[in-house]
């Protein structure tokens, strides 16, 4: 797999730098600086609404 379980990477999500961990086959964990937490939460919520998740 290109992004195997147990691995992580730093990347941008919108304007925020995040650390993305793949913790399971369909599970991920996101860590972000506290100052960007509300922004990232809303970014993810908006994406979920757009895709009706």
pLDDT in tens, 24-51: 999 999 999 999 999 999 999 999 998 8
Backbone φ and ψ for 24, nearest 5 degrees, come out as: -165, 180
d(CA 26, CA 14): 22
pTM metric for this prediction: 0.79
Q: What is the pLDDT of residue 52?
A: 79
Q: Contact, 22 vs 3, CB < 8 A?
A: yes
Q: Is the pLDDT of residue 1 over 80?
A: no
CA dihedral of 7, 10, 16, 20, whole degrees rounded to 10: 0
């Amino acid at each position: 797999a290109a992004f195997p379980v147990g691995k992580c990477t730093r990347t941008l999500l919108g304007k925020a730098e995040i650390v993305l961990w793949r913790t399971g086959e369909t599970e991920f964990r996101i860590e972000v600086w506290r100052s960007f937490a509300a922004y990232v939460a809303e970014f993810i919520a908006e994406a979920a609404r757009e895709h009706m998740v």
